[in-house]
């Protein structure tokens, strides 16, 4: 019998397909049955209301997208009043994404959001730390460990740490998050990038720079997911540039136990539902009975660690 379920710590998901935070909302319930996917991941919530960054907030680049949304939020009270009850009608577990500007604020918000109906908390430690000159918590192992330690002490719910690609210490950060109590890693958030309109000579985003997502980003995020899966014992959730079932399979083979789909949903709103079907078809055609047979099966024996610098072609 075909089994497409996956295990993320103490949570068993009926399949490994879920949305990336910020690309999923209640409106998609009008498009497909939200219970067909493995989990629901909310748009990031903050304690206070936030209006977000100046416009324009989104622009297309070749093969991908830049965004500088700035985490607009109606605040935690509105979230608990309106959003959590909406998702309570579904069987898929609700994963709440949170953001804050300091470790203490993160811990306080996490405690406040740890209410019935919430299955796990995804902590967006890719956001700026106001006490560290605006550097993201997840850029350094030390700040990652500090914020995750406070978060772990604030809740009994599973904690998923969302990492950033804007660091040269990917595996060290992953290990720090695990040591401090993370139950899973989401790898990863968007890559800091920029685009300029050559006619106006102005940046295409109102906030000058933003996050690169979509297919162009996938090889970077896939590399990070592979490195993290090799470095920690907790589950890794791959996120970045997934737009085909082949992308999903790549992440699973690289070691991810589940995946999050983001930018592709803007192009094809039903893509997550289709991926669930496509995954089952792929397993059947390969003669596999379980998703778990794919996870981490990459044949990397005899390969180097990938850190050898290549010479430029003549």
Q: Are 62 and 99 in contact (CB under 8 A)?
A: no
Question: CA-based diameter of the chain, in Å?
Answer: 62
Q: Specify whether 59 is catalytic.
A: no
- Decide: helix, strand or coil at residue 286: coil
Give yes or no for a contact between 117 and 88, defined as CB atoms under 8 angstroms apart.
yes
- Give CA–CA dist 171/227, Å, rounded: 6
How far is the first Cα of the chain from the last one, in angstroms, to the nearest whole number? 54
> Do the bridges between strand 196-197 and strand 202-203 make them parallel or antiparallel, or are there none, so unpaired?
antiparallel
DSSP assignment of 175-207: HHHHHTT-SEEEE--PEEE--EETTTTEESSTT
- Two tokens, residue 229: 């899966």
CA 90 to centroid of chain Cα atoms: 21
Best CA proximity match to 294, nearest among 286, 306, 302, 303 = 286
CB 144 within 8 A of CB 167: no
Query: Quick check: bond before 188 cis, omega within 30?
Result: yes
Q: Catalytic amino acids?
A: 127
């Amino acid at each position: 019998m075909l089994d497409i379920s996956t295990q993320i710590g103490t949570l068993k998901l009926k399949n490994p397909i879920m949305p990336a935070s910020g690309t999923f909302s209640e409106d998609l319930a009008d498009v497909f049955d939200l219970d067909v996917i493995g989990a629901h991941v909310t748009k990031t919530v903050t304690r206070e209301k936030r209006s977000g960054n100046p416009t324009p907030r989104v622009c297309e680049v070749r093969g991908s997208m830049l965004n500088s949304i700035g985490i607009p939020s109606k605040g935690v009270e509105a979230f608990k009043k309106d959003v959590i009850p909406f998702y309570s009608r579904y069987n898929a577990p609700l994963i709440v994404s949170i953001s804050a500007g300091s470790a203490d604020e993160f811990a306080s918000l996490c405690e406040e959001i740890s209410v019935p109906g919430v299955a796990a908390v995804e902590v967006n430690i890719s956001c700026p730390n106001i006490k560290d000159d605006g550097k993201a918590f997840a850029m350094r192992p030390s700040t990652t460990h500090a914020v995750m330690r406070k978060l772990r002490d604030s809740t009994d719910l599973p904690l998923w740490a969302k990492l950033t690609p804007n660091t040269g210490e990917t595996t060290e950060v992953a290990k720090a998050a695990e040591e401090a109590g993370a139950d899973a890693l989401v790898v990863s958030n968007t890559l800091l990038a920029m685009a300029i309109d050559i006619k106006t000579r102005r940046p295409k985003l109102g906030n000058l720079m933003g996050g690169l997502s979509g297919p162009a980003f996938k090889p970077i995020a896939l590399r990070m997911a592979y490195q993290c899966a090799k470095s920690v014992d907790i589950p890794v959730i791959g996120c970045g540039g997934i737009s085909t079932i082949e992308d999903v399979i790549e992440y699973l083979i690289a070691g991810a136990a589940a995946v999050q789909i983001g930018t592709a949903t803007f192009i094809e709103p039903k893509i997550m539902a289709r991926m669930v079907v496509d995954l089952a078809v792929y397993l059947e055609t390969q003669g596999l009975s379980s998703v778990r047979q794919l996870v981490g099966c990459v044949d990397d024996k005899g390969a180097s660690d990938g850190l050898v610098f290549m010479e430029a072609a003549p």
